Amino acid sequence: MARFKSILIAGAALALLLPVSLANAAEPADAPVTANAPAISVTKVRMGVISEMVLGSGLIEPVEKVFVQPQIEGQAVDSIAVDVGSRVREGQVLAKLSDSTLLLKKSQLLASQASAEANVAVAAAQVIEAQAAADEAVRVRSRTQTLAEKGLAAQSKSEQSESSAESAMARVTSAKKNKAAAEAQLKVIAAQIADVDLQLSRTAIKAPVSGLVVERNAQVGGIASAAGGSMFVLLRDGLLELRADLAEQDVLRVAPGQEVLMHIAGQTEALRGTVRLVEPSVSTTTRLGRVRISIEDPSKVRMGMFADAEILVVRKETLIAPVSAIGGSSSGAVALKVEDGLVKAVPVEPGIREGEWVEVVTGLKEGDTVVAKAGSFVRDGDRVNPVLVETPSLDSLN
pLDDT single digits (tens) 351-372: 888 888 999 999 899 989 898 8
What mean pLDDT value characterizes the chain?
Answer: 85
User: For residues 351 and 361, what is the distance between their CA atoms, to the nearest angstrom?
Assistant: 6
Residue 374: per-residue pLDDT: 74
Whether the pLDDT of residue 10 is over 90: the answer is no
- The closest alpha carbon to 319, from 47, 12, 43, belongs to 47
User: For residues 26 and 249, what is the distance between their CA atoms, to the nearest angstrom?
Assistant: 43
**Residue scoring higher pLDDT (376 or 287):** 287
Residue 274 included in any domain: yes
User: For residues 213 and 231, what is the distance between their CA atoms, to the nearest angstrom?
Assistant: 11
| Under 8 Å between Cβ of 161 and 137 | yes
Model confidence at 394, in pLDDT bands (50, 70, 90)?
low
Looking at residue 81, which CATH number applies to its domain? 2.40.50.100
Residue 292 included in any domain: yes
User: For residues 44 and 325, what is the distance between their CA atoms, to the nearest angstrom?
Assistant: 10
Looking at residue 257, which CATH number applies to its domain? 2.40.30.170
| Under 8 Å between Cβ of 221 and 76 | yes
Residue 86 included in any domain: yes
Q: Tell me the one-letter amino acid at 194.
A: A
259 and 295 belong to one structural domain: yes
220 and 72 belong to one structural domain: yes
User: For residues 308 and 329, what is the distance between their CA atoms, to the nearest angstrom?
Assistant: 34
182 and 117 belong to one structural domain: yes
- The closest alpha carbon to 208, from 183, 173, 234, 185, belongs to 234
User: Residues 12-36: pLDDT tens digits?
Assistant: 333 333 343 333 344 444 445 555 7
134 and 147 belong to one structural domain: yes
Looking at residue 337, which CATH number applies to its domain? 2.40.420.20
Whether the pLDDT of residue 276 is over 90: the answer is yes
Which 3 state secondary structure label does DSSP give 29? coil
Domain end, chosen from 292, 316, 340, is at: 316
Classify residue 365 by burial, with Cβ atoms within 10 Å: 0-12, 13-18, 19+. Answer: exposed
Model confidence at 73, in pLDDT bands (50, 70, 90)?
confident
Helix (H) or strand (E) holding 155: helix 155-201
User: For residues 57 and 246, what is the distance between their CA atoms, to the nearest angstrom?
Assistant: 7
Domain end, chosen from 316, 350, 366, is at: 316
The two beta strands, 87-88 and 271-282, are unpaired
- The closest alpha carbon to 265, from 305, 300, 304, belongs to 305
115 and 193 belong to one structural domain: yes
Residue 10 included in any domain: no
Residue 186 included in any domain: yes
Whether the pLDDT of residue 3 is over 70: the answer is no
- Count Cβ neighbours within 10 Å for each residue of 183-201 and write b for 16 or more, e otherwise: bebbeebeebbeebeebbe
Cα 43 off chain centre by = 47
Q: Total domain count for the chain?
A: 4
Residue 2 included in any domain: no
Residue 32: per-residue pLDDT: 52
219 and 84 belong to one structural domain: yes
163 and 253 belong to one structural domain: no
State how far the alpha carbon of 128 is from the alpha carbons of 116, 117, 167, 179, 389, in Å.
19, 17, 15, 11, 115
Tell me the torsion sign for CA atoms 219, 222, 226, 228. Answer: negative
328 and 183 belong to one structural domain: no
User: Residues 293-332: pLDDT tens digits?
Assistant: 999 998 899 999 999 999 999 888 999 999 888 888 778 8
Whether the pLDDT of residue 396 is over 80: the answer is no
* Angle in degrees, 0-180, between the axes of helices 100-149 and 155-201, rounded to the nearest 10: 160
Residue 3 included in any domain: no
| Under 8 Å between Cβ of 203 and 52 | no
Cα 357 off chain centre by = 35
Residue 214: per-residue pLDDT: 92
User: For residues 275 and 296, what is the distance between their CA atoms, to the nearest angstrom?
Assistant: 11
- Structural domain including 214 reads 65-98+208-235
| Under 8 Å between Cβ of 298 and 211 | no
219 and 136 belong to one structural domain: no
74 and 215 belong to one structural domain: yes
Model confidence at 54, in pLDDT bands (50, 70, 90)?
very high
Residue 225: per-residue pLDDT: 86
User: Residues 129-171: pLDDT tens digits?
Assistant: 988 988 888 888 887 877 777 776 676 777 777 788 888 889 8
CA atoms in the 13 A half-sphere facing the CB of 143: 5
Residue 118 included in any domain: yes
77 and 118 belong to one structural domain: no
180 and 155 belong to one structural domain: yes
